[in-house]
Amino acid sequence: MNETVKHEGVTGADKAKLYAAMLIAVAGIFAFYYLKGVQDDWVRWAVFAGSLVVGALVFAVSQYGRDLWKFVLEARIELYKVFWPTRQETGTMTLVVFVFVIIMSLFFWGVDSLLGWATKSILGGAGTGG
């Protein structure tokens, strides 16, 4: 999979399509709130959903949309290459993590207690509030 996204062949028309798609989506959101109390809720939702669909279609026919679709297809191919651990391996690794967390918790509790004791010893119990 490509490390960086290269928009090869992007023209001014593709940029205009991108901006038009964003404008259509924003207009749908604006209309949803503007029509509150004026239209039924189902009409408001239909306008909102319709604007998102039309905006997505305009985006899809731009070079940006084609690049996104290509990326999705490549990501799907890469997903099949992933090594998924078995259920037993997952359980074993989870147990190892829990044991490590317990050991480190005890270690840091011990270090904290030791440093607290050392601080009290050095300061002679001053500032303990008692």
- Report DSSP letters for the chain, one per residue: --SS---TT--HHHHHHHHHHHHHHHHHHHHHHHTBTTB-HHHHHHHHHHHHHHHHHHHHTSHHHHHHHHHHHHHHHHHHT--PPPHHHHHHHHHHHHHHHHHHHHHHHHHHHHHHHHHHHHHTTTTS--
**Residue 41: inside a domain, yes or no?**
yes
Count structural domains, the chain.
1
128 within domain boundaries: no
**How large is the average pLDDT for residues 16-27?**
94
Residue 58 lies in a domain: yes
Is 1 a residue whose pLDDT tops 60?
no
Tell me, yes or no, whether 20 lies in a domain: yes
109 found inside a domain = no
The pLDDT confidence band at residue 49, using thresholds 50, 70 and 90, is very high
Residue 94 has pLDDT above 80, yes or no: yes
| Rounded average pLDDT over 75-88 | 92
Task: Let me know if residue 91 belongs to a domain.
Answer: no
Q: Binning pLDDT at 50, 70 and 90, where does residue 2 land?
A: low
In a domain, 66, yes or no: yes
Q: Which domain holds residue 25?
A: 12-80
